[in-house]
Chain A
Amino acid sequence: MTTPDPRQERLRARLASYGAVLEEAAAAPAAKRRRHLIAVDGPVGGDRARRRPPWRGPVGRVAAVVVVLAAVAGTTWAATRPTQTSMTSAGQVWADDDIVRPEDRPAALAALEGTWPLPPNGSLDFILDIPTDASISFAGFRSMVAYNASCLWFRHAVEERDLTTDEREIVAAMPTWPGHDGSAHPRAVRSFQEVVDATLAGDLDRVREHIAISCDGSSEGLGLPELDGRWLVAGGPSSSQGASVDPAGSATAVDPARVRGWAAVVDRLGPEVQVDGAVALPDGAYNVSLRVSAMAFSLTIGAVGAPVTLPVTQAELDRGSEMRDGGIQVFAGPVGDDATLAQAVGPDGDSIALSFGSPPDEVERAVGDLADLAADLHAAAWPR
């Protein structure tokens, strides 16, 4: 019989004390919220009609930045721009360069909703569910609405097969919506126009492909900006299909593990991720520098034997070595005085390496964190 560790018993007691305070505070509000928790006779989860959001999650946030940049780059949209639309809260007018903070989104959406053509039963409410702490311009927000609305129309076209005359006119006008009007990214616009043409021509396979690559790819968190304007997409977390899509819309098959790896990276690093630079390595792998908040990560994803680009010895890595679930071996260790490297190697030899600069006094803590992160990334990229 083992004797309990007194230090751990004291920790247990302190957590129990802290937890009791939280539990007591939580009890009353929990009872109030309960009424709204579960619908007895209906869809679970709420009071709002939901369609699958075609743009949500971390990828949506990254894509939102792309759209915002496109809008800032000169997109105008005079034809259907809401004019003198007032904010619901303060009666102010939204201008293109007005900043829409997260808390302003309901008002901004309300200002646009009445002016935006949507398919029957279509709703843009899910835009409010996109988790973000970022503020964007009203022009950027409007572009986000346009993108999501176009996905709703493509889905409607596939579901209904025969569009009415009015609906065909709306679909035909979509390339003039913000973000699709040609001023920012002509090649992307050409691709979007092709999808619209396919919709009007009844080529639903092409439309389904667009939905899978663009709309679903975003909603599943697996459509990701890659290098040179390309996007990595996959149909879902368990999909065996992956594709790399160029700005013109041409897709080539890629290992789905690569897509999942990217998805995990963006998911973990959050909305502040920015691509600082990228270098194509001789064996086809990429060395991509990502800047995340105050920390700079360097990420390498490659095939077997992914190159390690920092001068680290195996002995240094071995000190932080441990086996993780699924046969994943994680190496992590300090590199010199100001950097840390973690590398996760899967059972099939594939690997993901992460490195970032860190002050010497934080290296030990960073090693542990990075080992956790690398293991998670690898497990996501190469699931059991």
Chain B
Amino acid sequence: MSTVEGVTGVDVDDLYSRSASRMLSTAWMLLGSRHAAEDAVQEAFAKLAARDTSAVREPEAYLRTVVVNECRSVMRRRRHQAGDPVTDGIHLDRSDLEMREALARLSPRRRTVVVLRFYEDMKVDDIAEVLGCRPGTVSSLLHRALKDLREVVGDDDA
């Protein structure tokens, strides 16, 4: 049987097939680097495989939490280091480049809530659950983040 599972519970192999690319793109947005994103997602899957996940009912959501927390850990470690996003050899049009720059200029927490709210389409309460804070804090971060984004991408798009 080729399926790889965690200690118990989630079918990690299947989850990887379904979710890896999406998780990588989310981590890429948060970390600004393909290499860092791949490391974070790999670490998240490794942690997932080592855990008892028998009580997990929504594997994708659980995985997303693990990935986001891994990314936050990376961002905390490198806070105050130069934050220029890495090109990573992909072609981005002007709009995407602008969005990449705008995300890079946000503080890690604000970037996280923006990506989770508007890319992962998560509800404020769910974001608060992931970040371990109150919904009001998420709303406050979102408000500030959108204000920051308007300075970069213009008033029309944020």
Contact = CB atoms under 8 A, between A and B. Distances in A.
Interface string A24-35: 111101110110
Contact of A26 (B34, B47, B114, B155): B34
A38 interface: yes
Contacts of A24: 21
Interface stretch (B52-60, B61-69, B88-96): B88-96
B123 interface: no
B127 interface: no
A376 B158 CA distance: 27
B28 A22 contact: yes
Interface in A1-42: 7-8, 10-12, 14-27, 29-31, 33-34, 37-38, 40
Of A20, A322, A369, the most chain B CB neighbours within 10 A belong to A369
Interface residues of B, number: 61
A373 B80 CA distance: 11
A89 to B, nearest CB: 21
A269 interface: yes
A26 B95 CA distance: 19
B4 A22 contact: no
Name B's interface SS. helix
B99 A18 contact: yes
A295 interface: yes
A372 B72 CA distance: 13
Contact of A7 (B24, B92, B136, B155): B155
A352 B84 CA distance: 30
A270 interface: yes
Contacts of B92: 18, 21
Interface of A: 7-8, 10-12, 14-27, 29-31, 33-34, 37-38, 40, 44-46, 58, 131, 133, 267-270, 272, 292-293, 295, 322-325, 365, 368-369, 372-373, 376
Interface of B: 4, 12-13, 16, 20-22, 24-26, 28-29, 34, 37-38, 41-43, 45-47, 49-50, 76-81, 88, 90-92, 95-96, 99-100, 107, 109-110, 114-115, 118-119, 121, 132-134, 136-137, 140-141, 144, 146, 148-149, 153, 155-158
